[in-house]
């Protein structure tokens, strides 16, 4: 809403910038568009690019507490909703 606001650094917390397997599984269910809304494109395809000059950092959890583990069936470190690998992208600070 305010593109004139200067942004230089962003810290993401468990954001699936490379896409979400849990979301991909949920997307197979009927009416998934109702609960994903406009976020479906980002959750399924990721958003691992950002404008030049931004520093983007990531914090990712490894203690499984979310219900997404039941859907995604992770076989790697995850927080129960997002796998650590889904939070990685080239250029993260």
pTM above 0.85, yes or no: no
- Distance of alpha carbon 47 from the chain centroid: 8
pLDDT score of 86: 94
Quick one: average pLDDT of 24-34?
85
H/E stretch holding 40 reads helix 40-45
Q: Per residue in 62-85, pLDDT tens? A: 988 877 777 778 889 999 889 999
């Amino acid at each position: 809403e305010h593109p004139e606001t200067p942004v230089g650094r962003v810290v993401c917390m468990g954001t699936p910038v490379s896409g979400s397997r849990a979301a991909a599984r949920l997307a197979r269910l009927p009416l998934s568009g109702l609960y994903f809304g406009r976020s479906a494109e980002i959750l399924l395809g990721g958003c691992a690019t950002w404008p030049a000059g931004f520093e983007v950092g990531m914090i990712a959890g490894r203690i499984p507490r979310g219900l997404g583990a039941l859907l995604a069936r992770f076989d790697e470190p995850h927080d129960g909703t997002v796998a650590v690998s889904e939070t990685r992208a080239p250029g993260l600070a």
